[in-house]
Structure 1
Amino acid sequence: MERAPNVFLLSADSLRADAFAGAAERLADELDGTRFATAVAPAPFTASSVPALATGRFVDGTDSEGEAAGGSGDAGDDAPSLLARFREAGYETVLLTDNPLIRPALDETGGEDEATEGGLTARFDEALPRSLTRVVERGYFDAVWPLARRLGLLGPYYRSATTLHDRAEERLAAADGPVFCWIHYMDTHTPYWPPTDAPPEPGDYRTSARSRSLAVRGVDAVDPADLGPIRALYDRSCDALGAAVERFVARLRDRGHYDPDRDVLALTADHGENFEPDRGLIGHVPAASWESLVRVPLVVARPDWPASVVADQVSLIDLPRMLAVPATAATAAAADGPGPATAPSPPSFAREHAFTVARTLGATDLVHGVRRDDGEKLFGRRTADGIDALRTVAPSDDPAAERVRERRPPDAAPRPDPESLSAVLAARGGPAGEARDAERYDEAQLRALGYLE
């Protein structure tokens, strides 16, 4: 009997759409997939974006239509993640990542490498020293790793895409049944460390890109030339990741783990990265839904979807529906009750308004944003002085072309026109709100990774 389809989710941290456009087009062409040309992330950084794209609920507990789920307001408490959904469907689930925020963001618990629940297996793979005691780990993140990085004694804390691919193939070869394999890459996250040293660059730019980001954050006047070497490293990291993913997909096909006529594969990012010095931040924190941070690549290859390009705006909040397991003889026979879900057609995911919701790390605030399909946006922004709201317009696919049209207090009354962005966002809670759940992230890690100053 034909086996149930394998499902692959390849997501990259800090990968902006314009930096990966060529690779996304090539991958879509190779797989006869659907490329969504205007995909909007649910939040501008990992801790708020990953739980949203994994559950279909924003971190304030609302779904894509703004309906509240109740409970604590934490999406992980109210909606099962993709990992849980596939486990319930009889899949072995594999998550490969070196981002320490992923496990708490998904509200997944269990052992260091494996958690078993009801006889079904969820495998986790993290290279960070989670097995050390809390005291040693805190010292490592507070002092040892940052100092060694500044001195050039350590490379990046994350493994390269090619290493994660080798690990994934080991898992796939050992699996007895269908697999949901999620790889979350860190190659495009600071410190940017492309696999080749040519052309040469100053070592301190390579090893302390995040430190430089922190140093210029909030400064009104930054010479763009100072960011040149860092942006060059980032672009090379994006190119290297694209090439690695293309090689990986080819190997999956050659070894029978991925068949475009049966299996599902999606590639996207949890958020982008900012290099425009007039935005008040370099990198992707504090929370602000600039175009460079929320426009991400998205390619989905499904055997029940024709090859196509969707130019209309879509939101990654719909990713769980896009990854619905396609029906096969095996899944239909094994289904208990209703048969496997079928994903709606690609054009049906188009949205006039795409929302963003971020829980500000180290604080109890929520910031909300809305992007209209013509590129105009209204969003809350966290700064050193508090929260304000910006109305911007992004008239092209160049994030640097985004312009601020208005700055306003976050509690300003919405415009009387019910179709205005301020009225639309007011219905979702306005540009700012208060988070209802407790902080669940280790501050030592957040500071070491540049999320907190």
Structure 2
Amino acid sequence: MSAAAAAPSTAIPAASLWRCFGAAHAALSILWMPWALLKQVDAFLGFLTPVELLRDVALALLVLAVPALIIAMVAMLGAGLARRLGAGEPAAHALAWGLLIVPVGWVCLWQFGSAGWAWLRTVSGTSLSLNSHLRVGAAVALLLLAYALGRQGRWRGLVGKTVQALLGLRGLALLALALSCGWLLLQPPRLLGPADAPAVPPAAADQPDVFLFTIDTLAAQDAMVCGDGPTLMPRLREFARQATCFDRHYASANFTTPSTATLETGALPWTHWGVQIVAKMSADVRDHTLARRLREQGYETHSISANLMASPRHHGSFAHYDTDTISPSPSLGLKPRRALTLFPDTTLPFWLSGLVPFLDTLDVYRFAEHNPFPPELSYAAAKQQLAKAHRPVFMWVHTLPPHDPYLAPEGFKYQLLPQGELDRWSQMLGMGHYTPAQQTVIDKHRLRYRESIMAADAALGRFLDDLRQSGRLDKAIVAITSDHGESFEHGFMGHAGETMNEGVLRVPLVIKLPGQSTGRVVSQPVSLADVAPTLADLAGGGGLPRADGRSLKPALLGDTLPARPVLSMAMERQSRFAPIGQGHYVLIDGDHKLTYDAAARTATLHDLAADPRETTDLMATQPELGARLRADLEARLAQVEQLRARQFGGTR
């Protein structure tokens, strides 16, 4: 009797396309998706309303039907092939279910492991990292376990129990899918596509092209662009000698999303509120971009980005561009993220891309010694777009290196660090905190990073040569900068998080006017928020209504800029729906830098002229200065909080 009772729970059911689809969708939607959402739900709730979050969940359930159907079709094709080879029906059904369980099981186990690892890092307070070797080792261990179960005759029983469990969840998954379709009819997402271009006036004959180049993760202290000393960027230095070079230019945030949103609008993160990695700018700000202003003046507007987080698709501002291109790349991990930008107003590109996490690991091994995002691919896309232009253009090109992996191409790799050390992607540490004992290996990472800077400079130089030969460069307004830098000190490697040191915040800025041949260096602190207002002003478009920055045109003409504090901020943990009480904020007034922790309500003060490495806190020795700067920053925060409360309301 016990054997008979056990049989139904271990027997492998007959496989059909409908059954396989239902089981695969149940695994992805009920087992995988909640864990994927759990890791980021706090961030989502920081900028999505409940209605928007429910829309994204419904859309995710609908999108998950696509991989579920593909898996089901592969399973049935496998069963059909088995029958053609003479296998019996039980074996064909077993193979079909096995082909289904392997991919969905792998994705679910990966997500459980990733969430568990993140939890372990949080509770342990350490910088544990799950590198690619461990991930591949886990995959091999799972395969060995499956083989061992097969050798012991337990495989069929395990498959039978798993299939029965998934089929038991099938009804719930299909009900959720049906409800999602109904909800999306009420709350349809916006699709990426050509926007309805507004009527634009004819461009003036003498209207200059406007080029904005951003080189991701380029620290000013490593690039050394301004001045006459040593440099890693000789081509940019050469260009800067006939332009204006700002050697104290500060990013508005310490990672890409908020900084590039500022670059588009001139609005600081606490104004545009694109402060989480996956957050869009608030609707009232993203309608007032530099691209829109120039488009209204008759410009063609084009964006080309190798980093999805820098793309107007990600910011929600894509409607102001005639073309919005994600740079081509052989990276497998980029492909699902790029495909999901079909829904640019949602979190899907960064949420559901976790459905194929092994693609990122495959990239680590397929491109073992090379960066799969070479800047040449972005510049080639820009050249193609320029060849089709019929009016003056505003073109924003965002390239990825020297962003990690710090793997320069041939001719630059091994110039600063010999072969055999950190020359493969899998050997590199991830971003995060490190101990003093690790500083030596961190310094070696910095050398590889600097090699990537050298390669990025050469690629930019070649594209500038192309523009010069085409006759566009000398007649154009050109700005070259970065979204943020990179830290290799103060116990933190990389960017983002709470790190606000000079390595992360100070980035190059070079601006060249049409026909300019005289170079100058400006040592006054300026902000990334100043770039968009400056370009709008130079192109004759006037100001940007939501900009916090100002035009730097006086400095470009050799005049003095009025003294003004520069602000940067890290607000990943600050919800737009809650009173401001989280985040790290920097106020730079002349040579002095105040860093304020809003949660702990503590501040540090540094004299950047006397102490550029920020090793000595002056709050105790210069209390009056510290109190004045802190009062200034807190007054600004209070004003911003009033605006936030009016726009988004209080705590929900």
Tell me the equivalent position of 2:480: 267
Q: 1:342 to 1:326 in 2, by over 3 A?
A: farther
Counterpart Cα distance in 2 of 1:289 and 1:228: 19
Q: Scaled by the length of structure 2, what TM-score is found?
A: 0.53
Tell me which of 510, 519, 542 is aligned to 1:307: 519
**SS of alignment partner, residue 379 of structure 1:** strand
The alpha carbon displacement at 1:97 in A equals 1.1
1:201-247 C-alpha deviation (Å, 9 max, x unpaired): 447554147x6134xx3344343211133111100111111122122
The one-letter code sitting in structure 1 at the alignment partner of 2:606 is T
1:288-327 C-alpha deviation (Å, 9 max, x unpaired): 3211111111110013865322122222211122213646
Counterpart Cα distance in 1 of 2:588 and 2:385: 39
The one-letter code sitting in structure 2 at the alignment partner of 1:180 is F
Tell me the equivalent position of 2:219: 16
Q: 1:266 to 1:415 in 2, by over 3 A?
A: same
1:315-370 C-alpha deviation (Å, 9 max, x unpaired): 22111222136469xx9xxxxxxxxx994343444644211123216977433211
**SS of alignment partner, residue 391 of structure 2:** coil
The alpha carbon displacement at 1:373 in A equals 1.5
Q: 1:302 to 1:136 in 2, by over 3 A?
A: same
The one-letter code sitting in structure 1 at the alignment partner of 2:568 is T
Counterpart Cα distance in 2 of 1:89 and 1:106: 25
Tell me the equivalent position of 2:497: 286
The alpha carbon displacement at 1:45 in A equals 1.4
Pair 1:372-2:582 in alignment? no
Task: Say which structure is richer in strand.
Answer: 1
How do 1:441-452 residues align onto structure 2 when only pairs under 5 Å count? none
Counterpart Cα distance in 2 of 1:378 and 1:73: 28
Q: 1:240 to 1:299 in 2, by over 3 A?
A: same
The alpha carbon displacement at 1:157 in A equals 6.7
Tell me if structure 1 keeps the 8 A contact 2:305–2:311: no
Tell me the equivalent position of 1:143: 358
Tell me the equivalent position of 2:631: 423
Task: Say which structure is richer in helix.
Answer: 2
The one-letter code sitting in structure 1 at the alignment partner of 2:476 is D
How do 1:25-104 residues align onto structure 2 when only pairs under 5 Å count? 25-29=237-241, 32-61=242-271, 74=281, 77-78=284-285, 80-103=288-311
**SS of alignment partner, residue 454 of structure 2:** helix
Counterpart Cα distance in 2 of 1:433 and 1:226: 42
1:244-295 C-alpha deviation (Å, 9 max, x unpaired): 2122112101012222xx310011111110001xx24210121332111111
Tell me the equivalent position of 2:529: 317
Counterpart Cα distance in 2 of 1:99 and 1:168: 15
**SS of alignment partner, residue 588 of structure 2:** strand
Counterpart Cα distance in 2 of 1:154 and 1:179: 38
Count of paired positions: 391
Counterpart Cα distance in 2 of 1:85 and 1:160: 31
Counterpart Cα distance in 2 of 1:392 and 1:104: 36
How do 1:267-416 residues align onto structure 2 when only pairs under 5 Å count? 267-276=480-489, 279-303=490-514, 307-324=519-536, 326=538, 343-346=553-556, 347-349=559-561, 351-360=563-572, 365-374=582-591, 376-380=592-596, 389-395=603-609, 401-405=613-617
Q: 1:38 to 1:222 in 2, by over 3 A?
A: same
Tell me the equivalent position of 2:170: none
The one-letter code sitting in structure 2 at the alignment partner of 1:19 is D
The one-letter code sitting in structure 2 at the alignment partner of 1:84 is R
Q: 1:378 to 1:212 in 2, by over 3 A?
A: same
The alpha carbon displacement at 1:18 in A equals 1.9
Q: 1:307 to 1:265 in 2, by over 3 A?
A: same
The alpha carbon displacement at 1:5 in A equals 0.8
Counterpart Cα distance in 1 of 2:465 and 2:364: 37
Counterpart Cα distance in 2 of 1:417 and 1:229: 38
The alignment-based identity, stated in percent, is: 26
Counterpart Cα distance in 1 of 2:372 and 2:604: 34
Pair 1:123-2:324 in alignment? yes
Which of 1 and 2 has greater Rg?
2
Alignment RMSD, CA only? 3.8
Counterpart Cα distance in 1 of 2:262 and 2:397: 17
Q: Scaled by the length of structure 1, what TM-score is found?
A: 0.74
Alignment gaps of 5+ in structure 2 = 1-203, 225-230, 274-278, 329-333, 341-347, 542-550, 577-581
